[in-house]
C-alpha cells in the first residue's frame, strides 16, 4: 500500500511541476517582452548624456544586440539566476539586491502568514460554534471590514494611532521584533478575514453532514466530534487557499514596506519599476514568480496528501464475496 501511495505522489508531483514550469516559462518570457516594449531605457532620466557615452553604455549593457540574442541571453541568465548588475545602481548585482532585501520581506511575510492563519482559524471556528447569535453577527461584520479595508489603509491607520499618536510601537524601520508587529498585522488582516470566512463556512457545512450524526450516534463527546471530525474536514479547503495567500502577502508587502520604511525586496521592486531598472525588474519578477509558484505547489501537495479522495486508488477497489 505504501509503495502504491508513493508512486501516486510522485506522479502527482511530476504533473504539477511540469505545469508550473510551463507557466513559469510563459511568465518569464512575457516579462522580457514587456520590458523590451517600454520605450526608452534606464539612462534617459539622467542629465543629458552625450550621444557617444549613451551609445557606449547601451553597448556595454548589451542593449544594442539583436532581439533574439538578448532573449537567449536572458533565458540563460534566468536558468543560472544571474541577472547581472543593476542598471541604476551601478556596481550592485541584481542577485545581491535580492539577497539583501528578501530575507527581511520573508521574515515579515512568515510572521503575517502565521498571524493570518492563527487568527483566521480561531475566529472562524468561534463564529461557527456560536452561529446565528450576536457574537457570530459581530464576527461577520468584522470579517466584512477586514476584507474591504485595503492593507495600505490599515497600515496608515495603525501607524498613525498606535505609533505616532499613542507611541505604543515604533513608527518605522525594521530594527527589532516590535518593529515587525504593526506591518505584519497590516499584511495579515485581509488573509485572516478570508480564512475566517472560509473556515466558518466550512465548519457549518461539515456540521450539517451525515457523518456527524453517525459520530453522535456512536456516543462520542461533543469535543471529540469537533476535533476528530469537524475540524480536520473543515480545514482542507483552507490549505488550498494558503497558496493564494502567499501571493496576497507578497504584493501587499510593496505598500506596507513603503509605509513603514522597511528595507525589503518590495521596496526594491517598486523603486526599480519607477526607474526602469530592467535587470532588477526582471530578476525580482522571476524571483517572485518562483516563490509564488513554489508555495502553490507546496500547498497543492499538502492538500493532495491530506485528502484521500484525490488519489485514484482504482486498483484498490476491493473484491467482494457474494454469499448468503
Partner 1 sequence: MSTLLSVKNLSVRIRSRDIIKNISFAMDTGECIALVGESGSGKSMTAHALLHLLPDDTSVSVEGTVLFSGANILEMTKSELRSFRGKEIAIIFQQAQSALNPLMRVGTQILESVLTQNNFSKQKGKEIVLELLEFVGFPQPVETYNSYPHVLSGGMRQRIMIAIALACNPKLLIADEPTTALDVTTQAEIMKLIQKIRTEKNMSVLLITHDLALVSGFAEKIYVMKDGEIVDRGTTDYIFYESDNSYTRMLLAQKERWSCNVR
Partner 2 sequence: MKKFALCILLAVLFQALVIPFFSEANYDTIDLQNANLPPSFSHLFGTDDLGRDIFIRCSYGARISLTVGIAAALVDLVVGLIWGGIAGLYGGKVDEIMMRGADICYSLPYLLPVILLTVVLGPGLFTVVIALTITGWINMARVVRAQVMQLNRQEYVLAAAALGASQTRILCKHILPNALPSIISTLTLTIPAAIFAEAFLGFLGLGIQAPAASWGTMANEGLPALEYYPWRIFFPIGLITLTILAFNILGNCLADEVEIL
CB count in 10 Å sphere of residue 197: 20
Binding of residue 26 to partner 2 (CB under 8 A): yes
Helix (H, G, I), strand (E, B) or coil at 105: helix
Binding of residue 59 to partner 1 (CB under 8 A): no
CB of residue 50 to partner 2, shortest distance in Å: 26
Among partner 2, partner 1, none, the one that 1 touches (CB under a kind-dependent 5 to 8 A) is partner 1
The rounded distance, in Å, linking the Cα atoms of 269 and 101 is: 10
165 vs 321, which CB is nearer to partner 1? Answer: 321
User: Which residue of 51, 60, 134, 317 would you call a contact of partner 1, by CB under 8 A?
Assistant: 317
DSSP 262: -
59 vs 213, which CB is nearer to partner 1? Answer: 213
CB count in 10 Å sphere of residue 127: 26
How much helix, strand and coil, in percent to the nearest 5, is found in the chain?
A: 75, 0, 25
**Burial environment of residue 149 by CB neighbours within 10 A (0 to 12, 13 to 18, 19 or more):** middle
Binding of residue 134 to partner 1 (CB under 8 A): no
Among partner 2, partner 1, none, the one that 320 touches (CB under a kind-dependent 5 to 8 A) is partner 1
Q: What cell was used for 14?
A: 511530476
Distances (CA, A) of 118 to 5, 143, 305, 309: 31, 15, 22, 26
Q: State the number of binding residues for partner 2 (CB under 8 A).
A: 45
Residues near partner 1 (CB under 8 A): 1, 209-211, 213-222, 228-229, 232-233, 236, 306-309, 313, 316-324
Residues near partner 2 (CB under 8 A): 19-20, 22-23, 26-27, 30-31, 34-35, 37-38, 144-145, 147-150, 152-153, 156-157, 159-160, 164, 247-248, 250-251, 254-255, 258-259, 269-270, 273-274, 276, 281, 285, 288-289, 292-293, 296
Amino acid at each position: 500500500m505504501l509503495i502504491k501511495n508513493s508512486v501516486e505522489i510522485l506522479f502527482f508531483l511530476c504533473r504539477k511541476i511540469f505545469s508550473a514550469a510551463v507557466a513559469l516559462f510563459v511568465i518569464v518570457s512575457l516579462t522580457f517582452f514587456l520590458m523590451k516594449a517600454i520605450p526608452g531605457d534606464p539612462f534617459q532620466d539622467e542629465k543629458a548624456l552625450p550621444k557617444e557615452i549613451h551609445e557606449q553604455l547601451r553597448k556595454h549593457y548589451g542593449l544594442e544586440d539583436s532581439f533574439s540574442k538578448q532573449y537567449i541571453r536572458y533565458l540563460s541568465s534566468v536558468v543560472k539566476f544571474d541577472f547581472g548588475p543593476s542598471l541604476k545602481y551601478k556596481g550592485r548585482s541584481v542577485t545581491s539586491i535580492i539577497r539583501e532585501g528578501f530575507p527581511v520581506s520573508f521574515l515579515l511575510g512568515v510572521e503575517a502568514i502565521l498571524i493570518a492563519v492563527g487568527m483566521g482559524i480561531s475566529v472562524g471556528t468561534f463564529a461557527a460554534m456560536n452561529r446565528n447569535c450576536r457574537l457570530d453577527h459581530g464576527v461577520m461584520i468584522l470579517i466584512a471590514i477586514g476584507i474591504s479595508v485595503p492593507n495600505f489603509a490599515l497600515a496608515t491607520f495603525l501607524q498613525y494611532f498606535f505609533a505616532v499618536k499613542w507611541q505604543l510601537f515604533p513608527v518605522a524601520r525594521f530594527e527589532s521584533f516590535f518593529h515587525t508587529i504593526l506591518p505584519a498585522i497590516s499584511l495579515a488582516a485581509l488573509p485572516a478575514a478570508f480564512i475566517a470566512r472560509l473556515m466558518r463556512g466550512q465548519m457549518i457545512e461539515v456540521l450539517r453532514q451525515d457523518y456527524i450524526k453517525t459520530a453522535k450516534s456512536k456516543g462520542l463527546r461533543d469535543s471529540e466530534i469537533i476535533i476528530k471530525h469537524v475540524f480536520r474536514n473543515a480545514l482542507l479547503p483552507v490549505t488550498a487557499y494558503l497558496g493564494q495567500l502567499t501571493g496576497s502577502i507578497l504584493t501587499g508587502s510593496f505598500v506596507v514596506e513603503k509605509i513603514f520604511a522597511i528595507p525589503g525586496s518590495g521596496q526594491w521592486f517598486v523603486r526599480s519599476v519607477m526607474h526602469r531598472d530592467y535587470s532588477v525588474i526582471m530578476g525580482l519578477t522571476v524571483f517572485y514568480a518562483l516563490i509564488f509558484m513554489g508555495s502553490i505547489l507546496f500547498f497543492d501537495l499538502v492538500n493532495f496528501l491530506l485528502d484521500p479522495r484525490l488519489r485514484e486508488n482504482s486498483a484498490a477497489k476491493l473484491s467482494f464475496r457474494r454469499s448468503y
